[in-house]
Amino acid sequence: MIDAVRWVRTPENQHEVHVLDQRLLPLRTEFMVCRNADDMAVAIRDMVVRGAPAIGISAAFGVALGSQSFDSASGISYRKHMEEVSRLLGSTRPTAVNLFWAIERMRFLWKDQAGTDSSSMTESLFREAQIIKDEDIRMNRKMGEHGQALLPQSATVLTHCNAGALATGGFGTALGVIRAAVNAGKSIRVFADETRPYLQGARLTAYELVEDGIPTTLITDGMGASLMAKKKIDAVIVGADRVTANGDVANKIGTYALAVLARAHGIPFYVAAPFSTIDFSMASGSSIPIEERSSREITHIGPDVRIAPEGVSVYNPAFDVTPGEFITAIITEKGVFRPEELRQMSPQSI
Ligand code: MRU
């Protein structure tokens, strides 16, 4: 299984986190070595690692790396140092709630550190980050079990962006459902949107599925409608960066269009996401901060090749919000919920 974020202990008993550089896939497999919280903040901000659960796991390891760098001779208290580490990691990407969820979970451990020396706290923080990662893999497998039951014995699924092993601790959310269906003996074909402008579908989803031998056809983002009209799609399954209390879903730009298309063609539209992606503190999707990214992602292909004229204006939001009314169900590790069922819930009620 692809392992995008790895905790490594060096022979000198130092901790490192090796992050698979997703900017280079599928052409090269290289790891960025993170030795402190600054390295991890760069890895998240520059999209060496991406995908909501993987961002959360990376941020958790970033907190642990930050603790490792604490210097008691600096005159700054451990608590103040860790506040600064958390602020830095929290400033990297705004949309995926998993980032903030993971930083808060780590804070729970270090905030009452009185009486514990910082090096044993560092050990506990690395163990906690690894637990978050291991839990994520288990949740993805559970989500897979719940989600695959929704698919017929033979199905063609359309997916958008990358919600696979690369975007999580492993196995994936949307791709986890597809993998679980294949493992259950179902005959599954996938159409993968290329996902302009960052091409997570072409570079990452196609890579994962081809590696797994799951029949996959790559399409550009505008092709879904014609496939649906020709009755070639049985279900759409995507991941999520944040689900709000009313069942609205922020996910990769282009997701909303797919949901509307699916509704127009009577095709089920599923979102697969762990409970940690549900932000019960936010009433609706209109409050979700949407990251806007560099115009260069649209005006250029790769680092150097310009494909648009100099001087053109560019709008590049990385995510959109799909209203809950367009979502058939949200597949979680705790079961499958309609958005209106989510509205009756709180984190404690599950
Ligand atoms: O900008 P990215 O690549 O981080 O966006 C990723 C997505 O939108 C995914 O669909 C989402 O994070 C779910 S990943 C399981």
- The residue ranking higher by pLDDT, 119 or 346, is 119
* Ligand 1 centroid – CA 182 distance (Å): 22
Quick one: which of 210, 209, 161 has its CA closest to 54? 161
Q: Strand pairing of 15-20 and 31-34? A: antiparallel
Q: Quick check: 347 pLDDT over 90?
A: no
Residue 300 DSSP SS3: strand
What pLDDT score does 348 carry? 65
Q: Is the CB of 197 under 6 A from ligand 1?
A: no
% pLDDT > 90, the chain: 94
What pLDDT score does 345 carry? 82
Q: Is the CB of 125 under 6 A from ligand 1?
A: no
**For range 291-311, the mean pLDDT:** 96
Domain 5-140 has CATH 1.10.260.40: no
Q: Which of 21, 39, 241, 279 is catalytic?
A: 241
All residues at 6 or more sequence positions from 216 whose CB lies less than 8 Å from its CB, including other chains: 189, 190, 191, 192, 205, 206, 209, 210
Whole-model pTM over 0.85: yes
Q: How confident is the model at residue 350 (pLDDT cuts 50, 70, 90)?
A: low
Q: Strand pairing of 329-332 and 335-337? A: antiparallel
Whole-number Cα distances in Å, 18 to 10, 33, 215, 265: 11, 5, 30, 44
Residue 164 tokens, joined: 């696979």
* Ligand 1 centroid – CA 12 distance (Å): 35
* Ligand 1 centroid – CA 321 distance (Å): 13
CB 20 within 8 A of CB 166: yes
Is the alpha carbon torsion for 103, 109, 111, 117 positive or negative? negative
* Ligand 1 centroid – CA 274 distance (Å): 13
Q: Is the CB of 252 under 6 A from ligand 1?
A: yes
What pLDDT score does 253 carry? 98
Q: What is the pLDDT of residues 220-274, one digit of tens each?
A: 999 999 999 999 999 999 999 999 999 999 999 999 999 999 999 999 999 999 9
Q: Is the CB of 49 under 6 A from ligand 1?
A: no
Q: Which residue puts its alpha carbon closest to atom 6 of ligand 1?
A: 51
Going from N- to C-terminal start, the domains of the chain cover 5-140, 145-344
* Cα 171 from Cα 53, distance rounded (Å): 11
* Cα 216 from Cα 168, distance rounded (Å): 20
Residue 110 tokens, joined: 């270090």
Q: Is the CB of 143 under 6 A from ligand 1?
A: no
Amino acid occupying residue 285 = G
Q: Is 248 a catalytic residue?
A: no
* Cα 318 from Cα 252, distance rounded (Å): 6
Quick one: which of 345, 155, 171 has its CA closest to 247? 345
* Cα 270 from Cα 178, distance rounded (Å): 12
* Cα 99 from Cα 233, distance rounded (Å): 33
Q: Which fold has domain 145-344?
A: Rossmann fold (3.40.50)
Atom of ligand 1 nearest to the CA of 52: 12
Atom of ligand 1 nearest to the CA of 168: 15
Mutate which of 221, 252, 279 for ligand 1 pocket (most atoms within 8 A of beta carbon)? 252
* Ligand 1 centroid – CA 276 distance (Å): 14
Q: Quick check: 181 pLDDT over 70?
A: yes
Q: Is the CB of 254 under 6 A from ligand 1?
A: no
* Ligand 1 centroid – CA 96 distance (Å): 8
Q: Is the CB of 202 under 6 A from ligand 1?
A: no
Q: Is the CB of 163 under 6 A from ligand 1?
A: yes
Sequence-separated contacts (24+) of 312-316 with Cβ below 8 Å: 316/197, 316/292
Q: Quick check: 113 pLDDT over 90?
A: no
Q: Quick check: 80 pLDDT over 90?
A: yes
Q: How confident is the model at residue 1 (pLDDT cuts 50, 70, 90)?
A: confident
What pLDDT score does 302 carry? 85
Q: Residue 239: what are its φ and ψ, rounded to 5°?
A: -95, -165
CA angle, 278 as apex, 149 and 283 as ends, to 5°? 125
Atom of ligand 1 nearest to the CA of 50: 4
- The residue ranking higher by pLDDT, 17 or 303, is 17
* Cα 58 from Cα 64, distance rounded (Å): 10
Quick one: which of 245, 267, 256, 255 has its CA closest to 341? 245
What pLDDT score does 116 carry? 75
Q: What is the pLDDT of residues 161-178, one digit of tens each?
A: 999 999 999 999 999 999
- DSSP characters for 94-161? SS-HHHHHHHHHHHHHHTT-TTS-HHHHHHHHHHHHHHHHHHHHHHHHHHHHHHHTTS-SEEEEEE-S
Q: What is the pLDDT of residues 38-48, one digit of tens each?
A: 999 999 999 99
Q: Is the CB of 85 under 6 A from ligand 1?
A: no
E strands in the chain:
5-9, 15-20, 31-34, 154-159, 187-193, 216-219, 235-238, 242-244, 249-252, 269-272, 278-279, 300-301, 305-306, 319-322, 329-332, 335-337
